[in-house]
Amino acid sequence: MMPLRILVYAQHLSGVGHYVRTYEIARALASHHQVHWVEGGRPVPHAPCPRLRLVELPRIRRGPDGLIRGLDASQDTDSLMRLRAARLLEQVEAIRPRVFLIEYFPFSKWELSCELLPAIAAVRAQGGRVLCSLRDVVRKTRFETAPDLAYAQRVTELLNRHFDALLVHADPALTRLEEHFPAVADIRPPIHYTGLVSEKLSRAPATDTEIARLTDGRPFVLASAGGGAGGRHLITLAARTWRDPGVAAGRPLVICAGLGWSEQFLRELSKGSAPGRVLVLPFSGDFLHWLAAADLSISQCGYNTAANLLETGTPAIVCPNPNMSDQPFRAQRLAERGLVALLSPDGGVEDLARAIDHALSQPRGGHQVDLDGALHTCEWISEKEVLA
């Protein structure tokens, strides 16, 4: 099979969940094809993939007011976006990708139309195909302010006009697109379910040694959350719960920091606890190994965390962030299947302590959820493009 030239675009503006999922897909594609990876947000620590060819755009983020701006606050946003659009179009002309894989747009990130639509038009003019890469649960974000029907109409119009297929990174036995998006019948490009995209454990003796060193070889509970206010609330609750030396039968709490958490916030987490009871790790690419080694996980229920929990089988308490519209549905669906235990966002220290005692008494469970979404995405693209 001749390698395909593939351009992968996953612009993260706030959190990094979409970035992490799409990076896993890009790594899988790069094992067979020539993959160009667009990088244009806050740097995210992860395992390097030398096979990926980097396309750098001027870096942007979403500010507290919801508006896009450069990482350097002094940069003029309009000039920055024009520069990004020109750079992306220049790369499309140079790479001439057979496949342009775009994460989440047009279901969100409409502000990026100024750079995406010209690039899409150029790819299609060259005879390439444009694919939308979509997570399991679709919800309109607070930045898409159109009423629901107008939102659905705009999404379908963009899909039908500019895209050749829609890849949904979900196991349809767990959830289907029509549960979250009312206009599925109006979508003309073919829809393909890939299964959940999950990172895979690799042999990492150095990480195993580090885990044993930091925990003194003790069993432990792992807490993690996104970088937003909801995540900090959950982590603060866990740290307060660990001030009781008897919680989790004396197991220490290991906190995996979110990207962008302040040093002051991280220092506050261990206050009031006995020495060695609360350990804080910086954000890193070793999360999956820590999760696999833990006796219990406490987290929200973002896409990647849910996939990680299913991958490792680690007993889990999830407290979905109600402001992240996909999390409550995903958490409820997994809880209905006995794969996680639910904690209300309004729960307090006593609620979490009871949930911990119960969860630690449960064995690791099995499931049949398809977690090979990255591999299936690569297989589907390879097969379709070879036959095209």
In angstroms, the CA 35 to CA 48 distance is: 14
pLDDT band at residue 253 under the 50/70/90 scheme? very high
Instruction: For residues 116 and 180, state if they share a domain.
Output: yes
Instruction: For residues 229 and 94, state if they share a domain.
Output: no
Which helix (H) or strand (E) segment holds residue 280: the answer is: strand 278-281
Instruction: For residues 25 and 167, state if they share a domain.
Output: yes
Instruction: For residues 192 and 233, state if they share a domain.
Output: no
Half-sphere exposure of 129 toward its Cβ, with a 13 Å CA cutoff? 17
Q: How far is CA 144 from CA 77, 84, 158, 255, in A?
A: 20, 22, 14, 33
pLDDT band at residue 333 under the 50/70/90 scheme? very high
pLDDT (average), residues 234-253 = 95
Q: What is the pLDDT of residue 115?
A: 98
Q: What is the pLDDT of residues 197-234, one digit of tens each?
A: 999 987 676 688 889 999 999 999 999 987 666 688 99
In angstroms, the CA 36 to CA 16 distance is: 19
Q: What is the pLDDT of residues 254-275, one digit of tens each?
A: 999 887 788 888 888 888 888 8
The tokens describing 230, both together, are 């909801």
Instruction: For residues 15 and 60, state if they share a domain.
Output: yes
Instruction: For residues 178 and 317, state if they share a domain.
Output: no
Asked if 5 and 244 touch (Cβ cutoff 8 Å), the reply is no
In angstroms, the CA 376 to CA 373 distance is: 5
In angstroms, the CA 376 to CA 29 distance is: 10
Q: What is the DSSP letter of 179?
A: G
Q: What is the pLDDT of residues 2-20, one digit of tens each?
A: 899 999 999 998 888 899 9
Give how many domains the chain has, as a whole number.
2
Instruction: For residues 355 and 377, state if they share a domain.
Output: no
pLDDT (average), residues 184-199 = 97
366 lies in some domain: no
Instruction: For residues 157 and 25, state if they share a domain.
Output: yes
Instruction: For residues 94 and 216, state if they share a domain.
Output: no
Instruction: For residues 169 and 122, state if they share a domain.
Output: yes
Q: What is the pLDDT of residue 229?
A: 60
**CATH code for position 262:** 3.40.50.2000
Half-sphere exposure of 54 toward its Cβ, with a 13 Å CA cutoff? 9
The domain containing residue 277 runs over which residues?
A: 205-360
Instruction: For residues 296 and 253, state if they share a domain.
Output: yes
**Total count of residues recorded for the chain:** 388
Nearest alpha-carbon partner for 136 in 99, 168, 90? 168
61 lies in some domain: yes
pLDDT (average), residues 176-202 = 94
Q: What is the pLDDT of residue 227?
A: 62
pLDDT (average), residues 286-303 = 94
Percent of the chain with pLDDT over 70: 95
Amino acid, res. 334: L
Q: What is the pLDDT of residue 387?
A: 47
Instruction: For residues 190 and 44, state if they share a domain.
Output: yes
355 lies in some domain: yes
